[in-house]
Structure 1
Amino acid sequence: MQNIAVVTGASSGIGAATARRLATEGFHVVAVARRADRLAALVDEIGAKSATAVEGDVTSDESVAALAAAVTALGGPVTLLVNNAGGAQGLDPVESGSVADWQWMYDVNVLGTLRVTQALLPALVASGAGTIVTVGSTAAFTVYEGGGGYTAAKHAQNALVGTLRLELSGKPVRVIEVDPGMVRTDEFSLKRFGGDQARADAIYQGVKEPLVADDIADIIAYAATRPQHVNLDRIVVRPIAQAAQHKVHRES
């Protein structure tokens, strides 16, 4: 059996791109997301010998337990977990931000990462050569107006990852964080703005070449395929047009 890589949030964007890329690197990819139809299409594309779809919700304890059982049933060594499921909702100031939006962002980005990591960590340790890659954001270390809920969640996720790395010292599991800046995907900004396509498009207006999902998948695959003694603790990646969170070159 091939080494198993579990990728959450695999139905679109960075997660789907990562699943495709890891399959080319020789992993059997367990693609996890809530949308079963999209997962089925992804597995058909990759090929059943190299991928398995598991419908799952990282905000549900029961769903994550079922994921762990499904992964165990495959029988191969679990050597890679990519915590990719996450997202943002809203761009409101703190004084009027939706508590429900904040709660959703914390549950998906932070507690979702916690649930899946806890569920699969025994298998990653047992493999003797495990790797956990968590997809964060430049929002994990930089705040911006209107981004309080998302930046709070990503800061918390970063704290989780850093603490885990300390706690796993001496065990055969690497802990890696990939923090992208401006990445244009089909759904991230659209979901953030409740389906408002014009607002979503405005985020990238004039930016010649924002990052795309394949760029992040390439970095995840690179980090995960280094020799096991090499741990890339934190990788920050932005498009050349984005010098910082508030410094983006836009062409007229």
Structure 2
Amino acid sequence: MTTTVPQTDQRSAIVTGASTGIGEATVRALAAEGWRVFAVARRAERLESLAAETGAIAVPADISEDDDVARLVAAVVDAGGADTLVNIAGGARGTDWVAEAKTEDWEWMLRSNVVGTMKITRAFLPMLRANGHGTVLNLTSVAALVSYEGGGGYNAAKAAERAMTRALRLEEAENNVRVVEVLPGLVKTEEFSLRRLGGNAEAAEKVYEGVEEPLTAEDVADIVRYAVTVPHHINLDEIVVRPVAQAAAHKLIRRHA
């Protein structure tokens, strides 16, 4: 199957992790600027609702599954192709120390953050190269930069995704494919901490307790939008973004009444 597509003036992006949080907000941000956006996630019903609101093209898929990735590529080709891949799908599971690590949690984090990102990037690189002005943006985390107790699995997954991103930038420069990495700190979204903590809403809320202004999904989505919209000869290699209250991994200001 060919992945060569006709050139068009309209910018077009594939956004993974689009059913919630930063992925959903990124779909909204790009669609609002006139981009054709392929919204990708596993939850079809949420994608359909997002598509109805924004005009995005909903493509339900699990990016870690080869058949789903192949179907996604075919759908993008049929719809006219894309010049930008925004890899946001991923996440964290658990806060166990390594001594109590759950194998299934680590395997899920490595599969969703690293293997899935590799598979979808590998699948779309021929299209991005053929476009002549392709962009890959990977959303990692400050957890890739500094490890912390209870974060070993997520630290490992995001550090691996970061290493892959840096290698990709070197490999694809000669193909005029720019590779951007956005590394957010504390972002308060609908599901990230809730999922990480096994659905415990009270524990999830405590993650943000006393932090006056954590980042929002919309904050990060606006940075993603900017990074992929600047003229193509500009590559924002690495963008670390934290709330002011989070001066560093070990310094988070919590103000209690």
**Into which bin does the TM-score normalised by the smaller protein fall?**
over 0.9
Give the match's secondary structure for 2:231: coil
Does residue 22 (structure 1) correspond to residue 30 (structure 2)? The answer is yes
Per the TM alignment, residue 25 of structure 1 is displaced from its structure 2 partner at its CA by 2.1
Q: Which residue of 1 aligns with 2:79?
A: 74
- When normalised by structure 2's length, the TM-score is 0.95
Q: Which residue of 2 aligns with 1:203?
A: 207
Matches within 5 A, 1:34-45: 34-45=42-53
Q: Which letter does structure 2 place at the counterpart of 1:57? A: D
Q: Distance in 2 between matches of 1:23 and 1:81?
A: 14
Per the TM alignment, residue 128 of structure 1 is displaced from its structure 2 partner at its CA by 1.1
Q: Which runs of 5+ in 2 are unaligned?
A: 1-7
Q: Which residue of 1 aligns with 2:5?
A: none
Q: Distance in 1 between matches of 2:106 and 2:90?
A: 12
Q: Which residue of 1 aligns with 2:3?
A: none
Q: Which runs of 5+ in 1 are unaligned?
A: none
**Which of 59, 63, 70 is matched with 1:65 structurally?**
70
Query: What's the CA shift string for 1:79-103, capped at 9, x where partnerless?
Result: 1110000000000000001011000
Q: Distance in 2 between matches of 1:110 and 1:61?
A: 14
Task: Among all aligned residue pairs of Structure 1 and Structure 2, give the percentage whose two residues are the same amino acid.
Answer: 55
Q: Distance in 1 between matches of 2:220 and 2:101?
A: 30
Q: Which residue of 2 aligns with 1:180?
A: 184
Structural RMSD (CA): 0.8
Matches within 5 A, 1:1-252: 2-47=10-55, 51-76=56-81, 78-252=82-256
Q: Distance in 1 between matches of 2:94 and 2:11?
A: 38
Q: Distance in 2 between matches of 1:151 and 1:31?
A: 27
Q: Which letter does structure 2 place at the counterpart of 1:18? A: T
- When normalised by structure 1's length, the TM-score is 0.97
Which of structure 1's runs of 4+ aligned residues deviate more than 6 A? none
Q: Which letter does structure 1 place at the counterpart of 2:88? A: N
Q: Which residue of 1 aligns with 2:4?
A: none
Q: Which letter does structure 2 place at the counterpart of 1:110? A: V
Q: Distance in 2 between matches of 1:30 and 1:214?
A: 18
Q: Distance in 2 between matches of 1:187 and 1:74?
A: 30
Query: What's the CA shift string for 1:165-203, capped at 9, x where partnerless?
Result: 111121121000000000000000000001000110000
Q: Which letter does structure 1 place at the counterpart of 2:242? A: R
Aligned length: 248
Q: Distance in 2 between matches of 1:137 and 1:223?
A: 16
Q: Which moved more, 1:102-111 or 1:162-171?
A: 162-171
Query: What's the CA shift string for 1:68-125, capped at 9, x where partnerless?
Result: 111111124x111100000000000000010110000000000011011011111111
Give the match's secondary structure for 2:91: coil
Q: Distance in 2 between matches of 1:179 and 1:158?
A: 9
